[in-house]
Amino acid sequence: MHDRWKHLRKNLFRSVEPRVELVLTSQPVGRFKKLCTTETAPGYTARASHESKGTTKDDIRLNKFLIKRGHHTPLEAVCFTFRVYGITKSLQNQWVRHRIGVGWTYRSTRNISADQNEFVYCTYDYIDDRLRTMALLREDEESAKEAIARFERKRELGATKQDSRKIMPVFWNTPCYFYCNASSLRYLFSLRLEKDAEWEIRRMSRIMWEIVIKETPSLFEDFTNLARRED
Ligand SMILES: Cc1cc2nc3c(=O)[nH]c(=O)nc-3n(C[C@H](O)[C@H](O)[C@H](O)COP(=O)(O)OP(=O)(O)OC[C@H]3O[C@@H](n4cnc5c(N)ncnc54)[C@H](O)[C@@H]3O)c2cc1C
């Protein structure tokens, strides 16, 4: 993604950008520390089926073989927890449609007053004209300011936090922790790195992929072309 208008978003009202951090991954413990690593755990544990033995390098090769053959259960040995910041409510709505091997803890605007909300503005990458992009961003900025003002008015009139937040535009920032295993993350990538996925969930998936490809390359390297494609 080019994101050529990023600089125009910088000073907009409560503008935030996406940020994904890896909080933790699965680690071998006890005697298994000598036998496998986070990355080799799928191949290593899959050896139970043939009672075979191999080196760390063999286990990495086995990871790739398991992926190719669709034997994905051993990939569940590796779990990730991410902190995700700078994503909209509309992204959240798409993301939580994934049901298997995934979970979230979201910042709740029932508990935290929505007048604290920040906003994730559109990239408008498909617009060539700078002035038109600025005009679009100004429209969004006005909605964000208006929403905060209306929220405060509703509160003054006696509405609860949860009822007052209902006038928020869907581009408010909804930070979360995301829990998933490597098999489910691969499934997410297979759908959400694709060109026809919505741009924001695709952008987040790309950032996430750039993290896990460094941590456990053999589990995600077959998505390289999809993740790095510029279009
Ligand atoms: C490009 C794109 C466009 C989309 N557009 C729309 C749209 O317009 N409207 C809309 O409503 N949604 C849309 N979706 C969401 C889509 O329909 C799925 O809800 C979402 O991608 C999650 O996929 P899933 O159910 O396969 O994933 P998961 O829930 O993680 O499930 C993974 C797999 O487990 C199996 N599974 C899970 N639950 C069951 C079950 N109860 N019974 C049997 N098997 C099960 C299935 O094989 C499933 O593929 C879109 C998704 C994409 C990627």
In a domain, residue 169? The reply is yes
Q: If you measure from the C-alpha of residue 104 to the centroid of ligand 1, how many angstroms do you get, rounded to a whole number?
A: 17
The answer to whether 54 and 86 have CB atoms below 8 angstroms apart is: no
Q: If you measure from the C-alpha of residue 196 to the centroid of ligand 1, how many angstroms do you get, rounded to a whole number?
A: 15
In a domain, residue 145? The reply is yes
User: What is the number of the ligand 1 atom nearest to the C-alpha of 196?
Assistant: 1
Q: pLDDT tens digits, residue range 63-79?
A: 999 999 999 999 999 99
In a domain, residue 54? The reply is no
In a domain, residue 36? The reply is no
Taking CA atoms only, the protein residue closest to ligand 1 atom 2 is 197
Taking CA atoms only, the protein residue closest to ligand 1 atom 8 is 94
User: What is the structure's pLDDT at 228?
Assistant: 92
230: exposed, middle or buried (C-beta count within 10 Å: 0-12, 13-18, 19+)?
A: exposed
Q: pLDDT tens digits, residue range 111-152?
A: 888 888 999 999 999 999 999 999 999 999 999 999 999 999
Checking if the pLDDT of 9 tops 80, the result is yes
Return d(Cα 167, Cα 147) in angstroms, integer: 6
Q: pLDDT tens digits, residue range 97-121?
A: 999 999 999 988 888 888 889 999 9
Taking CA atoms only, the protein residue closest to ligand 1 atom 13 is 94
195 lines ligand 1 (CB under 6 A): no
134 lines ligand 1 (CB under 6 A): no
Domain count, the chain: 1
CATH for 209 = 3.30.1360.170
Q: If you measure from the C-alpha of residue 97 to the centroid of ligand 1, how many angstroms do you get, rounded to a whole number?
A: 6
161 lines ligand 1 (CB under 6 A): no
- Residue range(s) defining the domain that contains residue 122: 6-26+78-223
Q: Is the pTM of this model over 0.85?
A: yes
Q: If you measure from the C-alpha of residue 45 to the centroid of ligand 1, how many angstroms do you get, rounded to a whole number?
A: 29
In a domain, residue 148? The reply is yes
In a domain, residue 142? The reply is yes
In a domain, residue 202? The reply is yes
222: exposed, middle or buried (C-beta count within 10 Å: 0-12, 13-18, 19+)?
A: middle
CA neighbor of 95 nearest in space, from 189, 21, 158: 189
Pocket test for ligand 1, best of 98, 188, 226 (most atoms within 8 A of CB): 98
Q: Give the other-Cβ count within 10 Å of 73's Cβ.
A: 13
In a domain, residue 15? The reply is yes
The answer to whether 117 and 168 have CB atoms below 8 angstroms apart is: yes
% residues pLDDT > 90 (the chain): 91
